[in-house]
Amino acid sequence: MSTITRPEFERAFGIIDLPRPPAGVHDVGDGDFDAIGREFLWNLVHHAGLQPGERVLDIGCGVGRLALPLTAFLDSDTGSYIGFDVAARAIRWCQDEISSRHANFSFHAVDLRHPLYNPGGALDPLSFVFPVETAGVDLAAAISVFTHLPPDVMGQYLRQVRRSLAPGGRFFCTAFLLDDEVRARLRAGKCRIPFRADAPGFWQEGHVDHPGAAIAVDLDWFLRAAAQAGLVPAGPVLRGHWPDDSGGEGFQDMCVLQALDPSAAGRG
């Protein structure tokens, strides 16, 4: 946990002298683009101990919502950032507007199939290898991405995260995670996404007519898949307020994972 307070943090890293993506380049959901980006940078620092000299991998980076505030935080000599996404226009915008001004930031478009974001994609995410060296990353982030991936792709991505992490590396992930307590909260019927408290199986689509728009998995399954990939929680899962709009630090659940055996991080 960082010792800097949130207001101090906002003062130090809140001003970003870069363009913002025009409307229509890429849809990353509702809400204040800048405020959400700053909030997630704060989460990475506060919950996952991100340091300015570290190497960051942003899985499903979208149109730079996290990258933009990171330009103010990462050290331009020792820190670095790699983002990838299936959305080619978003990546082009990031390359043109961010990499052109910050040489330590790179962005990759990967033509992976996704039923919502890239239905005509040529590549299968189940066999995708992240565009980073083994053990080449100190912090991996997947913000509002596992909430769109089916469990088999989550499994592949967890294995790729493990391969990517250097010793001491952390993975910050948001997700919709189900357990008995969450199902009880869903029964209140206040969830803005129509997840079902009584759905059979260990995962479900929030919008059956729009695959990939919102996906929830059982917390037990997620932790088992993470452990099979060689990752364990670094702390408690931080519950979001998505099931019933009450409590929670953010909308989605958040967790930080680290290598099961830190001495073996990056193998496999």
Interface with ligand SAM by CB under 6 A: which residues? 28-29, 59-62, 65-66, 85-87, 112, 114, 117, 125, 143-145, 148, 153
Contact in structure between 255 and 245 (CB atoms under 8 Å): no
CA 95 to chain centre: 20
CB of 187 to ligand SAM, least distance (A): 26
The helix, strand and coil proportions of the chain, stated in percent and rounded to the nearest 5, come to 30, 20, 45
CB of 60 to ligand SAM, least distance (A): 3
Judged by beta carbon, residue 38 or residue 114, the one nearer ligand SAM is: 114
Q: Which two tokens stand for residue 22?
A: 């025009």
Judged by beta carbon, residue 143 or residue 186, the one nearer ligand SAM is: 143
d(CA 188, CA 255): 24
Judged by beta carbon, residue 22 or residue 200, the one nearer ligand SAM is: 22
CB of 198 to ligand SAM, least distance (A): 27
CB of 118 to ligand SAM, least distance (A): 6
Supply the Cα-derived Rg of the chain in whole angstroms: 18
Judged by beta carbon, residue 62 or residue 230, the one nearer ligand SAM is: 62
Judged by beta carbon, residue 92 or residue 187, the one nearer ligand SAM is: 92
CB of 117 to ligand SAM, least distance (A): 4
Q: Which two tokens stand for residue 66?
A: 């996290």
The secondary structure of residue 251, as a DSSP letter, is S
CB of 218 to ligand SAM, least distance (A): 21
Three-class DSSP labels, 25-73: CCCCCCCCHHHHHHHHHHHHHHHHCCCCCCEEEEECCCCCCCHHHHHHH
Judged by beta carbon, residue 88 or residue 197, the one nearer ligand SAM is: 88
CB of 64 to ligand SAM, least distance (A): 8
Judged by beta carbon, residue 116 or residue 135, the one nearer ligand SAM is: 116
Other Cβ atoms closer than 10 A to 198: 7
Instruction: Classify strands 253-259 and 231-233 as parallel, antiparallel or unpaired.
Output: antiparallel
Contact in structure between 16 and 101 (CB atoms under 8 Å): no
CB of 77 to ligand SAM, least distance (A): 26
d(CA 64, CA 70): 9
Q: Of the candidates 259, 258, 255, which has an alpha carbon nearest to the alpha carbon of residue 237?
A: 255
d(CA 139, CA 54): 7
Judged by beta carbon, residue 153 or residue 226, the one nearer ligand SAM is: 153
Contact in structure between 147 and 175 (CB atoms under 8 Å): yes
